[in-house]
DNA sequence: TTGTAAGCGTTATCAT
DNA sequence: ATGATAACGCTTACAA
């Protein structure tokens, strides 16, 4: 391996000068710099990042925790994180947890033992062990999409889920729907309660009762969406519109409806959430709420960068713009 | 920060003993070990991985290069890689390239400057710069799905694409199709030529001509699938069956066919490749070739582990089992 | 502008 | 079984 030592010997300067020539060229005579660069070239020197990181105490790496990388909404956020990370000189360690809290902890711990400098959390769980609660308060962490459960101060990048849900509800009501169901993802997260709250508020404003039996919970998956919809259809009376808290859920729900021989939107209207790529391709194209996934990921990384580099952690919640995209999966309520 | 030094002072032993007590308990007296562990507990000591890695010269980290993380087939492979990596004590650095060769190089270089110990490549490109060609031959690298272009010796995990394509072709022919088109992903990779070759061979065996105009190329995306299918439909005569080299392509093709007012499979049969989750949920459910994505990722990581830990690189190609899954997107050829 | 040397926290070698 | 110490490659005061 070619080290700075070798370069310095070849050129006849000290390692300090080599280091400066490479990192702070202006601190060194142009001709010295030239000689160093030439030696670097001929010897094929590469800085040993391991040593550099050790010396500086920084890893220039962040961890991103995600429950399911195959969900395109999450993977787009991760793409945004990574794109921005690269710009800022950071690498991204992947933390796919498959909803396993133990794996969350493994990844979170990386920040505590200097495997990474910061953490981006896409899940709503506090990823550290109880015993690390205190120290965790000082670690640079940002959450995206969903807020971290409990009374913590981490910055949070999201959209206004309450308002988005209001828009969804108004849209459905404008089509004449009064029998509205919903299928949620995570059971008890802020996102879920915001979205449910927005829906309920609008129903209330229109004096439309909310039927608790029509509020299903599961995970953000097609499978859960299908099962929940099947359960709804098996009830004596079922809703004419179902608001799914993710597009994946909606895709599962659509499958269940078609399998039951019903039509969308003539018999049942479906709304999704996230606006993943496939929404435009499915049949019928899905009405959904667009979240700027890439931008959210980028922004999370920017804020994390600030935290890592000295800014104090403060609980800001940053809202990104969302858009209700009306496509063909919603239509007039059946008579 | 709590260091070994502090532990050793508290216990009254040397740092070497602390190190041994933690890593090689059998080299230390049980009572010494006890005291050390207790001090570790009370001081809340955590090993500094940065220092450990620097000292050992290993990062316990691998990079996985992927062109598009939002493609569920790729993200499942990455999940497999990560699951296995965690078992083996490794972390995974994400290298989403968005098809940008410069980003591939950034990620590949991480192995050269000690940011990672090895590399898993899902793309078909040789990710290193020309000037690093020689040194690259010694770096632990494994490719999955697609082989690396050129005359290299890296291990390669895949399925038998030629045979799988033969199965697809036979299936279509058994349904009476003679006008068969295809939409490929990457232009000139081994996977593409294997799949095309398998198709052509079977057609030849059945004395069915292959129409070059019906062989489209683009990327593994829905968008490309849609555009290619639109182009096919705009031809005077178009195929009655189209073999798409990925499910994403197939989803785009299906959209184009429906938009044109045609039915699947009555007017045109569609076959996909990969068997991503959504295949069962789309309308009609997609006939496709299942690739064991998670297993392929796991296996790639296992082999990479062996390379990193001393096994010599040898050009093995390991084939995983595939399955043709016949669903409803393929049917009898129209009269 | 450049050199010297300490320091980062762990592991490993060689004594004891 | 344990201690002393060197070593890993780079950065950075501090000196010259």
Question: Which residues partner with A271 through β-bridges?
Answer: A243, A287
Residue B296, C-beta contacts closer than 8 angstroms, at least 6 positions apart: B77, B80, B144, B145, B157, B158, B159, B320
In terms of Cα–Cα distance, which of A301, A279, A302, A305 is closest to A290?
A279
pLDDT tens digits, A194-222: 999 999 999 999 999 999 999 999 999 99
B284 vs A contacts (CB less than 8 Å)? none
Question: Which residues partner with A91 through β-bridges?
Answer: A61
pLDDT at residue A95, rounded to an integer: 97
Contact A106 B115 (CB under 8 A): no
Between CA A51 and C1' D3 the distance (Å) reads: 27
Mean pLDDT in residue range A116-127: 97
**Domain A59-159+293-320 listed as CATH 3.40.50.2300:** yes
pLDDT tens digits, B275-295: 999 999 999 999 999 999 999
Q: What is the mean pLDDT of chain A?
A: 96
Q: Which residue lies nearest C9, CA-to-C1' measured?
A: B51
> Which of A46, A96, A226 lies at the smallest CB-CB distance from B113?
A46
* Whole-angstrom distance, CA of residue A302 vs CA of residue B119: 27
Shortest CA to C1' contact from B1: nucleotide = C9
pLDDT tens digits, B68-84: 999 999 999 999 999 99
B253 pLDDT exceeds 80? yes
Report how far Cα B335 is from the mean position of its chain's Cα atoms. Answer: 40
pLDDT at residue B1, rounded to an integer: 84
Shortest CA to C1' contact from B114: nucleotide = D9
pLDDT tens digits, B5-53: 999 999 999 999 999 999 999 999 999 999 999 999 999 999 999 999 9
Q: How many CB atoms lie within 10 A of CB B11?
A: 19
**Domain A161-291 listed as CATH 3.40.50.2300:** yes
| Torsions phi, psi for B103 (to 5 deg) | -70, -35
Mean pLDDT in residue range B151-162: 96
pLDDT at residue A63, rounded to an integer: 98
Between CA B294 and C1' D4 the distance (Å) reads: 49
Q: What is the mean pLDDT of chain B?
A: 96
- Note whether B59-159+293-320 and B161-291 share their fold: yes
Q: Is the CB of A55 under 7 A from strand C?
A: yes
Q: Is B200 helix (H, G, I), strand (E, B) or coil?
A: helix
* Whole-angstrom distance, CA of residue B3 vs CA of residue A319: 41
pLDDT at residue B66, rounded to an integer: 97
A56: part of which helix (H) or strand (E)? helix A49-56
pLDDT tens digits, B314-324: 789 999 999 99
Chain B residue closest in CA terms to A98: B79
B50 vs A contacts (CB less than 8 Å)? 50, 53-54, 57, 59, 114-115
Report how far Cα A84 is from the mean position of its chain's Cα atoms. Answer: 14
CB A179 within 8 A of CB A240: yes
Pick the CATH number of B4-47 from 1.10.275.10, 1.10.260.40, 3.50.50.60, 2.102.10.10: 1.10.260.40
Q: What residues does each domain of chain B span?
A: 4-47, 59-159+293-320, 161-291
Whole-angstrom CA distances from A226 to A287, A312, B97, B281 are 17, 44, 34, 9
Q: Which residue lies nearest C5, CA-to-C1' measured?
A: A16
Whole-angstrom CA distances from A182 to A124, A267, B263, B284 are 20, 16, 32, 25
pTM: 0.96
In terms of Cα–Cα distance, which of A97, A99, A66, A98 is closest to A80?
A66
B236 pLDDT exceeds 80? yes
* Whole-angstrom distance, CA of residue B269 vs CA of residue B288: 11
Residue B205, C-beta contacts closer than 8 angstroms, at least 6 positions apart: none
**Sorting pLDDT into bands at 50, 70 and 90, what band is B145?**
very high
* Whole-angstrom distance, CA of residue A179 vs CA of residue A40: 72
* Whole-angstrom distance, CA of residue A22 vs CA of residue A301: 27
* Whole-angstrom distance, CA of residue A284 vs CA of residue A254: 9
Between CA A50 and C1' C11 the distance (Å) reads: 15
Pairing of strands B288-290, B323-325: antiparallel
Report how far Cα A311 is from the mean position of its chain's Cα atoms. Answer: 22
* Whole-angstrom distance, CA of residue A210 vs CA of residue B24: 62
pLDDT at residue A1, rounded to an integer: 83
Whole-angstrom CA distances from A41 to A273, B12, B66, B110 are 53, 49, 30, 18
A187 pLDDT exceeds 80? no
In terms of Cα–Cα distance, which of B9, B85, B18, B25 is closest to B48?
B18
- Secondary structure string (H, E, C) spanning A236-297: CCCCCEEEECCHHHHHHHHHHHHHCCCCCCCCCEEECCECCHHHHCCCCCCEEEECCHHHHH
In terms of Cα–Cα distance, which of B197, B286, B195 is closest to B248?
B286
Between CA A16 and C1' D15 the distance (Å) reads: 14
In this structure, the protein residues whose CB atom falls closer than 7 angstroms to any atom of nucleic acid strand D are A 1, 3-5, 15-16, 19-20, 22-23, 45, 47-48, 51-52, 54-56; B 12-17, 20, 27-29, 31-32, 54-55, 57
pLDDT at residue B186, rounded to an integer: 81
| Chain C nucleotides covered by protein, CB below 7 Å | 1-5, 7-13
Mean pLDDT in residue range B187-201: 94
Mean pLDDT in residue range B265-284: 98
**E strands within A76-187?**
91-96, 118-121, 141-144, 156-159, 180-183
**Sorting pLDDT into bands at 50, 70 and 90, what band is A89?**
very high
pLDDT tens digits, B83-139: 999 999 999 999 999 999 999 999 999 999 999 999 999 999 999 999 999 999 999
pLDDT at residue B295, rounded to an integer: 98
A319: part of which helix (H) or strand (E)? strand A317-320
């Amino acid at each position: 391996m070619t080290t700075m030592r070798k370069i310095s010997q070849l050129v006849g300067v000290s390692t300090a000068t080599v280091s400066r020539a490479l990192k702070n060229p202006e601190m060194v005579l142009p001709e010295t710099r030239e000689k160093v660069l030439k030696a670097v070239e001929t010897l094929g020197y590469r800085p040993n990042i391991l040593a550099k990181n050790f010396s500086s105490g920084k890893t220039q790496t962040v961890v991103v925790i995600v429950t399911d990388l195959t969900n395109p909404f999450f993977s787009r956020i991760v793409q945004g994180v990574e794109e921005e990370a690269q710009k800022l000189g950071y690498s991204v360690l992947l933390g796919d947890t498959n909803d396993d809290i133990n794996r969350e902890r493994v990844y979170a711990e990386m920040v505590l033992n200097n495997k990474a400098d910061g953490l981006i959390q896409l899940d709503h769980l506090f990823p550290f062990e109880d015993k690390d609660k205190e120290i965790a308060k000082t670690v640079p962490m940002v959450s995206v999409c969903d807020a971290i459960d409990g009374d913590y101060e981490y910055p949070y990048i999201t959209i206004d889920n309450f308002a988005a849900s209001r828009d969804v509800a108004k849209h459905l009501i404008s089509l004449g729907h009064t029998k509205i169901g919903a299928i949620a993802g995570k059971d008890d997260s802020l996102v879920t309660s915001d979205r449910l709250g927005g829906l309920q508020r609008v129903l209330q404003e229109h004096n439309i009762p909310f039927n608790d039996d029509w509020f299903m919970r599961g995970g953000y998956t097609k499978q859960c969406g299908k099962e929940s919809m099947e359960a709804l259809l098996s009830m004596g009376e079922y809703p004419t519109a179902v608001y799914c808290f993710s597009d994946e859920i909606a895709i599962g729900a659509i499958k269940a409806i078609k399998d039951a021989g019903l039509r969308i939107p003539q018999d049942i209207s479906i709304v999704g959430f996230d606006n993943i790529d496939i929404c435009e391709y499915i049949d019928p194209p899905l009405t959904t709420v667009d979240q700027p996934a890439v931008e959210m990921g980028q922004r999370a990384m920017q804020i994390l960068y600030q935290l890592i580099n000295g800014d104090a952690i403060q609980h800001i919640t940053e809202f990104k713009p969302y858009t209700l995209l009306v496509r063909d999966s919603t239509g007039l309520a059946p008579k």
